[in-house]
Structure 1
Amino acid sequence: MSRTLFSLCFTAVFIAGPAYADRPQVAVDIAPVHSLVAQVMEGVGVPDLIIQSGATPHEYSLRPSEATALQNADLVFWVGPDLTPWLAEALETLAPAAVLTSLLEVDGTIQLEFREDALFEAHDHSDHDDHDDHDEHGAHDPHAWLSPK
């Protein structure tokens, strides 16, 4: 290998090293927050997800790998103590030096009213096969978007 090529490779590695080392370690509490933060971090890194998808965030026991992610975190994004009250103490203990962002406390956050008995189940079209009730709104096919043009 020529000296010039070796020098260029060494310089590239030397310059890239600090950029790699400066990458922040980021942890997030729940999957929707993870998705948003991962989009912002695209090309820089991937945040660690603390509460695995499908688990209830209200009462959760940290796995050792999740506790380690909090210990290594420079930044933590979480919804806040209203969703995960137990996480506040864990953050204080495991991530005392991390910059914490409670999304419920961020200026501009719009909090919707709590909805009791909200059902988010699959929509069943069999309960309205007769579309005569749509006549008052004008003729349209509510399933037209399914048809190829």
Structure 2
Amino acid sequence: MSRLSALLLLLLCSLNTRADVQVLTSIKPLQLIAAAVQDGVGTPDVLLPPGASPHNFALRPSDVRKVQSVALLYWIGPDMEAFLPRVLQSRTLPSIAVQGLPDMQLRHFGEGHDAHDHGDADAHDHDHRPGTLDAHLWLLPYNARVIAARMAADLAAADPANAARYQANLKAFGERLDALDQRLKARLQSVVGKPYFVFHEAYDYFESAYGLEHAGVFSVLGEVQPGARHVAAMRARLQATGPTCVFSEPPLRPRLAETLTAGLPVKLAEMDALGGALPVSAQGYEQLLGDLAEQLAGCLEAL
């Protein structure tokens, strides 16, 4: 065999073992799960930029082209990304709404909670009415396993040469989640039962996994201020609670936060359910949950 032929054969083998299967996810948490499965083979892309809300994102023409052309697309489902179903109607390649995967453990708003203060109904930026699906399902490690298993199967079918690598990555991901689960249980044990409030009811899956429960929700848009009577009622709720934390989500803190907490023994803090600032890596999903635990426990322990 000539040297040129040998080089061509080597190139073809290299291309075959590193098939470029383009994966696009709607939001960062799904990208982090995909990154764990694709580790060493490819890097998934994400549709929403950091800080964008999956509930009301506006697609640019370049986003629409990306959605139409990518090989595999994963999104939460119509209960989260309401902007996607219309665009996906004309997509011919696989699109997987993970909320519909078999074996997913799904929650609905109002499960396991007493009546909470949800602010003015007209101020909600998406549907959190009791009984509707809570689509923040990625915050339950069990669901991340289910999603990763589907991704590994899809990638193995699209890229058989790397099927063993995808399965090995899936196994490693599961083992890391086992270890993470034990770390988080130990980290959060000291704050179980401590009251705290949130501006966005996004954490129920995480709370259910680790024995936590928020005491109330102030679900209002950053630019919508409820009436004075309602603000007074919310302040009275915080005052009756005593020292506590109120968590908002980056990048914006609701204007209401300062009004609600002024003069009260309340700490304002953030919890990022989307992990917008995290680098994309095989360990990114574990970092997302680990950061949530640190943000929550760090504030409550400092009271």
- TM-score for the superposition, normalised by structure 1: 0.70
Q: Could you say what the CA RMSD is over the residues aligned between the two structures, in angstroms? A: 2.3
Matches within 5 A, 1:90-129: 90-93=87-90, 96-114=91-109, 116=201, 117=217, 120=247, 121=270, 122=295, 123-127=299-303
CA distance in 1, matches of 2:44, 2:88: 16
CA distance in 2, matches of 1:46, 1:62: 22
Report if the CA contact (8 A) 1:77-1:101 is conserved. Answer: yes
Which residue is 1:12 aligned to?
Answer: 10
CA distance in 2, matches of 1:28, 1:76: 6
Relative CO higher for 1 or 2, CA cutoff 8 Å, sep ≥ 6? 2
CA distance in 1, matches of 2:20, 2:302: 52
Q: Deviations over 1:34-84 (max 9, x none)?
A: 100111111221122011221111111123432232122111111000001
Which residue is 1:66 aligned to?
Answer: 63
Give the deviation of 1:18 after TM superposition. Answer: 4.5
CA 1:7–1:88 in structure 2 vs 1: closer, same or farther (change >3 Å)?
same
CA distance in 2, matches of 1:84, 1:105: 14
CA distance in 2, matches of 1:125, 1:17: 52
CA 1:24–1:126 in structure 2 vs 1: closer, same or farther (change >3 Å)?
closer
Match status 1:23 vs 2:35: no
Which residue is 2:169 aligned to?
Answer: none
| Greater displacement, 74-83 / 59-68 | 59-68
Supply the AA of the counterpart residue of 2:70. A
CA 1:53–1:5 in structure 2 vs 1: closer, same or farther (change >3 Å)?
same
CA distance in 1, matches of 2:17, 2:44: 17
Unaligned runs of 5+ in 2: 111-200, 202-216, 219-245, 248-269, 271-294
Match status 1:87 vs 2:80: no
CA distance in 2, matches of 1:39, 1:69: 22
Number of paired residues?
122
CA 1:64–1:44 in structure 2 vs 1: closer, same or farther (change >3 Å)?
farther
